[in-house]
Amino acid sequence: MVNFDVHCNPPTATSQQKGAFRCGNGIRFFTKPHVKQAQKDLAEYLRPFSPENRLEGALCLQLKFKFPMRKSETKARRALESIPHIKRPDVDNLAKLTVDVMASLGWFKDDAQISKMILEKEWTNEPGIIGKINEL
């Protein structure tokens, strides 16, 4: 089992924000610079928590993305610990970027191993990414 609690502003870029251009008779896809930067930042955040051995078998992943509280929130709402995040980016797209980075760091062989996933996103006074991954 691997637990991690990263104190950072979660990236708002997602894996689905790829670019494409027509080249001759085909289409070429590329990763936009802000997505590459988000991947690089996530890799730096998660590298210290990398497991010594690659996780095997079916996996359960829990992720909570905690975004900084919006400036437009009232004092009463800011006094709450957290507020559900209902704006973009979509939580599943955030998770895909995070899972791709975990796979590139060697946490597991393939993201198809993840058979159970629990995802949350919220606005909070203490931004970060909290996660837990374990073998089922």
> What is the pTM (predicted TM-score) of this model?
0.91
State phi, psi for 63 to the nearest 5 degrees.
-130, 140
Give residue 2's Cα distance to chain centre. Answer: 15
What is the share, in percent, of the chain residues with pLDDT greater than 70?
A: 100
Structural domain including 58 reads 2-135
Cis geometry, peptide bond prior to residue 10 (ω within 30 degrees of 0): no
Residue 96 maps to which CATH number? 3.30.1330.70
Residue 18, pLDDT above cutoff 90: no
Provide the pLDDT for residue 89: 93
State phi, psi for 57 to the nearest 5 degrees.
75, -165
Q: pLDDT-based confidence at 14, cuts 50/70/90?
A: confident
How many domains are there within the chain? 1
For 22, the 3-state DSSP assignment is strand
Q: What is the mean pLDDT of the chain?
A: 93
Q: What whole-number distance in Å separates Cα of residue 57 and Cα of residue 136?
A: 7
Provide the pLDDT for residue 67: 97
